[in-house]
């Protein structure tokens, strides 16, 4: 089940990036809710919030290691029942895979959700963030038991 969820998220991420590249020029912006939410094509050459710009090799190696470790862990856990912990890893896996594909293909990550008060991001970034929050929550509730 986790691999199906991850595959759907990865597919949506890559489809959305394909469409934004097809219909937008770099740094072009379309206001959907003027001043609040825009679609803006940005080439992110760094990590979260654009830090560590132009460190493509480091990002690729780090993402590959994380993806392999998460995949092996999830593969071992595949016969166990669905859990918040495995869902969180699946979300991180999908997001890391989506951004890794961008870095390998383009040398940067395609970002496009622009809330104007926050750095521009994409579906993969959202998946990683939600996965990390759920992972933290899962660890906290497991420790309480």
| Separation of first and last alpha carbons in the chain | 25
Residue 33 inside a domain? The answer is no
Q: What's the CA gap between 119 and 11, in Å, rounded?
A: 23
Residue 31 inside a domain? The answer is no
Q: List, for residues 38-88, the tens digit of each pLDDT value.
A: 999 999 987 766 666 777 888 899 999 999 999 999 888 877 888 899 999
Residue 9 inside a domain? The answer is yes
Can you give the three-state secondary structure of 58-82, one letter per residue? HHHHHHHHHHHHHHHHHHHHCCCCC
- The domain total for the chain is 1
Q: What's the CA gap between 43 and 40, in Å, rounded?
A: 10
Residue 32 inside a domain? The answer is no
Q: What's the CA gap between 36 and 118, in Å, rounded?
A: 10
- Catalytic hit among 13, 102, 111, 114: 111
Domain that holds residue 46: 2-26+38-144
Residue 102 annotated to the active site: no
- Catalytic hit among 13, 102, 114, 125: 125
Q: What is the pTM of this model?
A: 0.89
């Amino acid at each position: 089940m986790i691999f199906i969820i991850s595959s759907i998220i990865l597919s949506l991420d890559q489809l959305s990036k394909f469409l934004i590249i097809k219909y937008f020029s770099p740094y072009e912006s379309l206001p959907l809710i003027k001043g609040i939410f825009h679609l803006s094509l940005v080439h992110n050459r760094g990590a979260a919030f654009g830090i560590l710009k132009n460190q493509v090799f480091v990002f690729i190696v780090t993402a590959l290691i994380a993806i392999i470790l998460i995949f092996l862990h999830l593969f071992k856990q595949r016969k166990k029942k669905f859990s918040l912990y495995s869902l969180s890893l699946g979300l991180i896996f999908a997001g890391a895979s989506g951004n890794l594909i961008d870095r390998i293909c383009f040398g940067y990550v395609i970002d496009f959700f622009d809330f104007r008060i926050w750095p521009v991001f994409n579906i993969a970034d959202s998946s990683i963030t939600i996965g990390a929050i759920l992972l933290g929550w899962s660890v906290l509730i497991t420790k309480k038991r």
